[in-house]
Amino acid sequence: MHVQSAEIGYHHTDVAALLADDDLELDQIPAKRGRSKSPSTVETREAASARVAKTLPADDAARVAVARAAIEAAHQAILGEDEAAFDAAVRQYDGVIYALNGFTLSSSETDEGAATRLRKALAAAPGTVPLWGQAGEFLLDHAGVRAIVQMNGGFGMWGYCSLRAASAGGVFVSDTGFLSLMGKQPVLTCTVEEAARLWLEAEIENRGRVTISAQFRDRDYQALYPWLDQEAEATSAPVYREASGQMAFGF
């Protein structure tokens, strides 16, 4: 059964019975007063996470290792167009969050919540391309634009992706030097870098290239991105190429 994940708005469900009953089916989750019998997405995710959490080791370091393996499995599933494997990996990852967060998903996305801490613990090294579901930032030099691609990590809302100008000079797709790509779905058979290139191409086609406005140039880019060569110029020709048209997961 597919379990959609959402990054915000978790509600704590009484899961004592879930943890005690190996045979509980998700359609046995009690309905909340004032709504239909069917459980909400949040309740479904909570129940699935509770069941996975029962199978995890007690040691937190070992649980984090399980989450790392789940990210790697999800990444390979996207490259291989395997939706069933992807869903299984996401359930495993959610189960780790649930266990690390005191056996609840409630408040797991706060600054001190388990989801936030897990993304930080599993983040890619700055300047390297992350796996799908992994936090990280890297340089994308494409069609005359040098953009920092930032992936927040995790699997709900697809980890909030954004583009930022790599320096005050050159051109970008926004005169503020920032563009949110929130809600972008992973692209089948593509790495994060390949998908980001398609997204940037589309933004160049829709928005064109502009210089960054003066009020947004006074930033310490060296401090923001110490891993980045600030003296480099864009090496790609400023020519837009049509996107490949590959379909994205519609989970």
Give the closest residue to 192 by CA, choosing from 159, 157, 167.
159
Q: Given pLDDT bands bounded at 50, 70 and 90, which one contains residue 37?
A: low
Phi/psi at 51 (5° precision): -70, -40
Q: Where are the alpha helices (DSSP H) in 122-224?
A: 192-207, 221-224
Task: Provide Rg for the chain, Cα atoms.
Answer: 20
- pLDDT > 80? residue 187: yes
SS3 245: coil
Residue range 98-117, pLDDT digits in tens? 999 999 999 999 999 999 99
Q: Tally the C-alpha atoms within 13 A of residue 173's C-alpha that lie toward its C-beta.
A: 28
Per DSSP bridges, beta strands 136-142 and 161-165 are unpaired
SS3 content of the chain, % helix, strand, coil (to 5): 35, 10, 50
Indicate whether this model's pTM tops 0.85: no
Region 193-201: mean pLDDT is 96
Q: pLDDT exceeding 90 applies to what percent of the chain? A: 66
Q: Given pLDDT bands bounded at 50, 70 and 90, which one contains residue 64?
A: very high
Q: Given pLDDT bands bounded at 50, 70 and 90, which one contains residue 251?
A: very low
Q: pLDDT exceeding 70 applies to what percent of the chain? A: 79
Per-residue b or e along 104-126, where b marks 16 or more CB atoms closer than 10 Å to that residue's CB: bbbbbbeeebbbbbbbebbbbee
Of 233 and 87, more confident: 87
Q: Where are the domains of the chain?
A: 16-121, 136-224
- pLDDT > 80? residue 248: no
Measured distance CA(42)–CA(38) in Å, rounded: 11
Residue range 119-145, pLDDT digits in tens? 999 999 999 999 999 999 999 999 999
Could you say which DSSP state residue 87 is in?
H
Q: Residue 163 pairs with which residues in a beta bridge?
A: 149, 179
Give the closest residue to 249 by CA, choosing from 107, 111, 121, 77.
77
The residues, any chain, with a CB within 8 Å of residue 22's CB and separated by 6 or more, are 54
